[in-house]
């Protein structure tokens, strides 16, 4: 049909009142929803990276004391990043800290099933310190958790 007025379907041969139109289930997946989904996808992706690293039987560099220091710094960095990602997605540093520490505990439990690894409550504490550092740094930046610019 060369000319289609609003509400006229060239396929049905007539008008379809707005009250009879069925909305697409994806019609609301626009800017707001896709932003939320992408923020949580970043959290899930980073958690998967942590899980994958925890699945490696041995991450030793054979550097003695430096090996321990490097691994603990890596733990803190991993969980600082996770806490920041969760804070961005959840909009709350408190929620982010709680979820990050909970994930750290499950990660340590996961390591008890990996040959050559063991779970440690001390590592959960180190991960919690990393989360606190990440959230502190996030709070010190010029942008709030929700991405809006702070005024100084």
> What angle, rounded to 10 degrees, do the helices at 31-54 and 93-111 form?
30
- What angle (nearest 5°) sits at the alpha carbon of residue 66, between those of residues 101 and 59? 60
| pLDDT tens digits along 15-25 | 666 666 666 55
Model pLDDT, residue 28: 56
Q: Where are the chain's structural domains?
A: 32-140
Q: Residue 1 pLDDT > 70, yes or no?
A: no
| pLDDT tens digits along 80-109 | 999 999 999 999 999 999 999 999 999 999
Model pLDDT, residue 96: 97
Task: Please say whether the beta carbons of 15 and 9 come within 8 A.
Answer: yes
Q: What residues have CB less than 8 Å from 151, skipping those under 6 apart?
A: none
Cβ–Cβ contacts within 10 Å for residue 127, how many?
A: 26
Q: What is the mean pLDDT of residues 127-144?
A: 88
């Amino acid at each position: 049909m060369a000319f289609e007025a609003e509400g006229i379907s060239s396929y049905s041969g007539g008008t379809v009142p707005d009250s009879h139109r069925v909305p697409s289930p994806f019609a609301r997946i626009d800017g707001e929803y896709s932003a939320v989904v992408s923020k949580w996808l970043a959290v899930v992706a980073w958690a998967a990276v942590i899980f994958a690293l925890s699945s490696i039987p041995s991450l030793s560099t054979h550097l003695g004391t430096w090996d321990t220091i490097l691994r603990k710094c890596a733990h803190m960095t991993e969980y600082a990043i996770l806490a920041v990602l969760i804070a961005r997605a959840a909009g709350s540093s408190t929620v982010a800290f709680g979820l990050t520490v909970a994930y750290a505990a499950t990660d340590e439990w996961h390591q008890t099933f990996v040959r050559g690894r063991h779970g440690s409550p001390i590592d959960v504490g180190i991960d919690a310190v990393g989360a606190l550092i990440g959230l502190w740094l996030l709070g010190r930046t010029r942008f709030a958790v929700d991405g809006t610019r702070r005024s100084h």
